[in-house]
Amino acid sequence: MGTAASSDRPTALVTGANRGLGLETCNQLRAKEFRIILTSRDEKKGIAATRKLDPEGRDVVFHQLDVTDRGSVSGLVNDLPGLASRLDLLVNNASELGESPLPPLVRAKRGDILRVYDVNVLAPVALVQEALPFLTRSRGLVVNITSDAAVGAYPGWGVYGASKAALDLVSKTLAAELREQGVGVVSVDPGDMRTKMHQDAFPGQDISDRPLPEVTVPFWAWLLSQDPLAVSGGRYQAQAAVWEVPA
């Protein structure tokens, strides 16, 4: 949907951004004067979200993306020069919860496990691999969205939590490997929020006591003001009193 003109302004790529945390993150990036490449597997919803963020179509562009399809990922990266002149921030927000209601691990299906790991672990790695030349030129930052389920061992959350635990280790490893190239990598736990994914985890239950994604605004304002290498390797909790989780 359109193309972004060349600009020295920072550019962010956000996956799974047509609703919830992804869309709110784009809101915060707009406030920081980022150009944004908003991606979603659902074209109709992605275009609607893009128009909501930027009715004039100047600073936010939509690109349909299936993060589990390496060809789709490669196509996006090949199109990057026409979408923006640089890439400063990659937010791997697209996530897969798995079966709903959440089953105990002893009843988890192999196909569901593979799907969750494909979206939550393999896709972020693939995006970093493909986009690395652009991130290196901009000395950019990769943000991988994790969860408290990665460390909580909550009944029913075993598949999703294990995938996010793997993503945490992927993030720390990438941070160590990419430091010499000037690229920072962090993982961010946004906390419980009133989103579709959280509702899917608790079908039929009232989750109105959970805050909306806007609760993460102070954290994003802080993170986006930091030097990528100064925060690289950290695991952060967006709703905590102290954002950084001790190693």
pLDDT tens-digit readout, 17-47 = 999 999 999 999 999 999 999 999 999 999 9
What is the helix (H) or strand (E) element at residue 104, kind and residue range? none
Residues 60 and 49: their CA atoms lie apart, in Å, by 10
pLDDT in tens, 57-90: 889 999 999 999 999 999 999 999 988 889 999 9
Asked if residue 136 lies in contact with residue 84, where contact means CB atoms within 8 angstroms, the answer is no
| Sequence-distant (≥ 6) Cβ neighbours of residue 77 within 8 angstroms | 130, 131, 134
pLDDT in tens, 154-202: 999 999 999 999 999 999 999 999 999 999 999 999 988 676 766 766 7
pLDDT for residue 195: 65
Residues 23 and 213: their CA atoms lie apart, in Å, by 9
Residue 152 has pLDDT above 70, yes or no: yes
The single-letter code of the amino acid at 118 is: D
pLDDT for residue 4: 44
pLDDT for residue 243: 79
| pTM to 2 decimal places | 0.92
Closest by Cα among 233, 187, 221 to 91: 187
Asked if residue 36 lies in contact with residue 11, where contact means CB atoms within 8 angstroms, the answer is yes
CATH number of the 11-245 domain: 3.40.50.720
pLDDT in tens, 195-232: 676 676 676 777 687 768 789 989 999 999 999 999 99
Domains of the chain: which residue ranges? Answer: 11-245
